[in-house]
A and B are shown apart, each in its own frame.
Chain A
Amino acid sequence: MSYTPHTDADRAAMLEVIGVPSIDELFCSLPIDARLKQPLSLPSGMDEATLGRHMRELARANTSTDEAISFLGAGVYDHHVPAVVDALASRGEFATAYTPYQPELSQGMLQAIYEFQSLICILTGMDLANASMYDGATAMAEAALMCVDMTGRRRVVVSRTVHPHYRQVLRTYLKAADACYVEIGCGDGRSDLAELHNAIAMETAAVLVQSPNFLGVIEDLHGISGICRDRGVQSVIAVDPHSLALLEPPGAYGFDVVVGEAQSFGCPMGFGGPLLGFFACRQNLIRRFPGRIVGRTHDSEGRRGFTMTLRTREQDIRRERATSNICTNEALLALAATIHLAALGPEGLKGVAHLCLQKAHYAAGLLGAIPGIGIPIQHPFFKEFVIRIDTRFAVPDISRALRDRGIIGGFWLGEAYPEYHDCLLVCVTENRSRADIENFAASLADIMAGGL
């Protein structure tokens, strides 16, 4: 089955029009030595019903978060997605369209992207936002490269509280661009501002932070943006967009670029992808920023229309002098996020953020009260926090014991942060019930009391 519609008669008629005796003739420009010598070693084709069974079997070999109570966050989040999101975003008119190069036939997607850009601007408090990036990590890397290109300085200062994957992606991108990566510490779970101040040198293009940071802590944004302003460097921040329903947006603190991951608006966790990066910045970066942007204009009859604009920054026009090489982005996910936000509205989004905040703090209270469990970081947090486990136990063993009880206890910090080798990063979204949280606390208490 290859979804090809031709009958034998079609093929014969077509070959006649072309004027060749066989399809093979059409491949004569392939040198013999370049042609396939033997069949590819691939499994045979399958009918739809068999495929369905096979795929369900593969899916069953996984434990989904419907089958376990998950307290995992760490960059991808289990928030409720209203049914209306997929019902609309999965429509073939959107899902099976290409990039809207022909605006007359793409007004639906273009208008939705314009709405997405607007919503990201509102949430972040910034002047403009692009049509999306691959994910939060590449959005941050693109922001760093933009600052390097713009300032001609080749050094970037990054807080260790930024998501470890974001920092890894950043290092990969910066290395390829021959730019220097400098990390500042996080002694008490927050970026060390004295260290930040000292790390900024003549050659520093930008400072990159995250808030709430990877350890869940809300950073001192006033302090960070103030240092950046005083030292004349660009400030870039990654944010959890859900937190912005409650917290003052980065734009109000004067950040130059705001990036982040918006998977939790309308998109499944999907084992970590596809994700939805967003990129917002100040008006003065309008000619420098990466990626596509949609603008409003009109046709000759004065009808409102939307089109991709500021295209001369992009690779298909400027080639090696483009501001970025990005082409395909995450349009369908941006549409899903837009629908999600439209459905929730301000009260809905605030309601969800409020639930996350309350439930995470309730969980932190219960877990922190268990003998042998501590809360090592005392700063304000949103929906994620760190618990420290008595060193009599190895964290991976605790995690395994929790898994046996149907609980995914959080993210072990040992690999990314050796100083927190005895810690778990716990995430509580609105999807976790009081019973789930109490079950987690009771199970952990039981394990700590010798049930391992």
Chain B
Amino acid sequence: MKEEPLIFEKSVPGRTGATIPTCDVPEQPIRDLLPGVQLREALPLPELSELDVVRHYTRLSHRNYAIDLGFYPLGSCTMKYNPKAHEAIARLPGLTRLHPMQDVAQVQGALALIYAVEGALAEIAGLEAATIQPAAGAHGELLSMMMIRAHYQSHGMERTVVLIPDSAHGTNPASAARCGFTVRSLPTDSRGLTDMQALKAGLSEQTAALMLTNPNTLGLFESEVLEICRLVHEAGGLVYCDGANMNAIVGKARPGDMGFDVMHFNLHKTFSTPHGGGGPGCGAIAVGKTLAPYLPMPRVTRLSTGSYDWIRVGDHSVGRIHTFYGAFLVAVRAYAYLRTLGFEGLREVAETAVLNANYVRARLASHYHIPYPERCMHEVVLSTSKQRSKNGVKALDISKRLMDYGFHPPTNYFPLIVPEAMMIEPTETESKETLDAFCDAMIAIAEEAETDPELVKNAPHSTVVGRLDETAAVKQLDVRWRNVGDTVPTDS
């Protein structure tokens, strides 16, 4: 495929792609309206016709892989089908052309929707209350850590340590550290689960919380979760559930029933709102009784009259973490998804997601090393260590070679505790034919690693660009277009 120039390289002075209305009010000289204000001279934005713009971004779209094009088994990312009906719904003018500061009398539908989504999330979590205010999973984690901190502060307690298993997503330690907590890592045992001895040894009167992903990032359910939560509570700490892997248990089990005090959901994973190439997301959180007083403001409430209103002030609230009320239109899509599926549908999601992952696991088990013996939940982690030690073929090579077979690679080199990790999450929306084609490709690549390792090591061979020089990207840093003649500042 031919390279697509940058939008700036297609610019022709004097061209425009927009029709601007003529001014229908009496005009005054700008100088008179803005006395003493420094006005701008140069505005070197690109100049294109509308058709130029359409072709440019359509061509760029052809240089992008997506769920709509094929299988996207990125572990921990839950790349399931995003229903088109929900996209159409999220474009209803009664939802999009709504200002967040309108009087409550004019936004009863929006408030009802937020109230219903939050209620449903609390029910699915088995917890007291939920908020959709966080904009992403990491934002939900951050908010949860803020609330835990506020809880201890309001009780005059100083607990400064957060325990996090070494298999956790990187956002967990980063979110805890952002709230001033000291992060202690817990090892994973030979079963791929939290090491109970290490947990017991790590708990103390300093323990603020344990952040646990369940199922964990090895795709395994923490079968001792009830005991884990009991131990942390006994030590006076709280337990946070990273809900990134909720797709495995939605409608089958509830974190609140397991003893968790707070959890986050990724609406852009479990509830099928499109990930958009890196957002927008929604990292809604649900909380139990202990932390409910610290929820961010505002909240939506239902009055005895049946109408809805804002609660703007909470005595113990940590405050606000997003302008207005968070990613409403993402919540709209999640709401549409929840209403489409209902309880039965949600349970089928978890069951099928787990079935699909175990099917992939079973088909690949004799071709790749599977580091943990247990059957998996919604995702399977395998290691390409056999291929690495025998033929020098790395997980990255196999991932790149998968592109030549028309698939997006799984997550690789995560979790960090598995060498040469490939983390495969098929999701429930993929058919047996797709899974078979993917497994056939994985098996064929395992064979190629034996017979023609260079073919795999130099992959991909069919993409619009080959492997990129990441070192050059850092060393000769170029993160923006510059017009010819622009001066380039230095780092110092």
Contact = CB atoms under 8 A, between A and B. Distances in A.
Contact of A172 (B36, B105, B296): B296
A40 B328 contact: no
Given A64-B97, A345-B18, A320 B107 contact: no
Given A273-B330, A294-B479, A319-B170, 15 more contacts: A18-B355, A33-B226, A46-B339, A94-B64, A168-B319, A246-B39, A249-B40, A269-B100, A270-B329, A274-B328, A325-B141, A330-B276, A345-B18, A345-B45, A399-B103
Contacts of A100: 277-278
B481 A98 contact: no
A448 B41 CA distance: 43
Contacts of B492: 284
Interface in A99-119: 99-109, 111-115, 117-119
B99 A76 contact: yes
A176 B180 contact: yes
A54 B428 contact: no
Contact of A93 (B61, B361, B476): B61
B473 A307 contact: yes
A437 B226 CA distance: 63
A88 B178 contact: no
A132 to B, nearest CB: 7
Contact of A96 (B45, B58, B67): B67
B326 A273 contact: yes
Nearest to B361: A18
B428 A108 contact: no
A283 B482 CA distance: 14
A295 B478 contact: yes
| 8 interchain residue pairs of minimum CB distance | A59-B94, A272-B324, A272-B100, A332-B276, A92-B68, A61-B109, A108-B64, A331-B278
A104 B460 contact: yes
A53 B146 CA distance: 40
Nearest to B113: A58
A408 B99 contact: yes
Nearest to A166: B323
Contacts of A286: 477, 491
A293 interface: yes
A66 to B, nearest CB: 5
A294 B474 CA distance: 10
A10 B400 contact: no
Given A96-B82, A320-B183, A331 B352 contact: no
B16 A348 contact: yes
Contacts of A327: 136-138, 170-171
B174 A325 contact: yes
Given A107-B64, A325-B174, A55 B89 contact: yes
A420 interface: no
Choose among A18, A30, A48, A346 the residue with the greatest number of B CB atoms under 10 Å from its CB: A30
B447 interface: no
Interface string A50-84: 01101111111111111010101011101000101
17 contacts: A3-B81, A30-B249, A42-B120, A45-B344, A52-B89, A57-B109, A64-B95, A70-B102, A92-B68, A97-B276, A98-B77, A115-B8, A176-B149, A178-B180, A248-B39, A269-B98, A331-B276
A160 interface: no
Given A34-B226, A54-B339, A94-B276, A177 B15 contact: no
Interface in A316-353: 316-322, 324-333, 335, 338-339, 341-352
Interface in B72-101: 72, 74, 77, 79-83, 85, 87-89, 91-101
A374 to B, nearest CB: 19
Interface string A293-304: 111111111011
A277 to B, nearest CB: 9
Interface in A146-197: 163, 165-166, 168-169, 171-173, 175-178
Contacts of B24: 433-434
B170 to A, nearest CB: 4
B3 interface: yes
Contacts of A132: 279
Interface stretch (A201-209, A227-235, A357-365, A387-395): A357-365
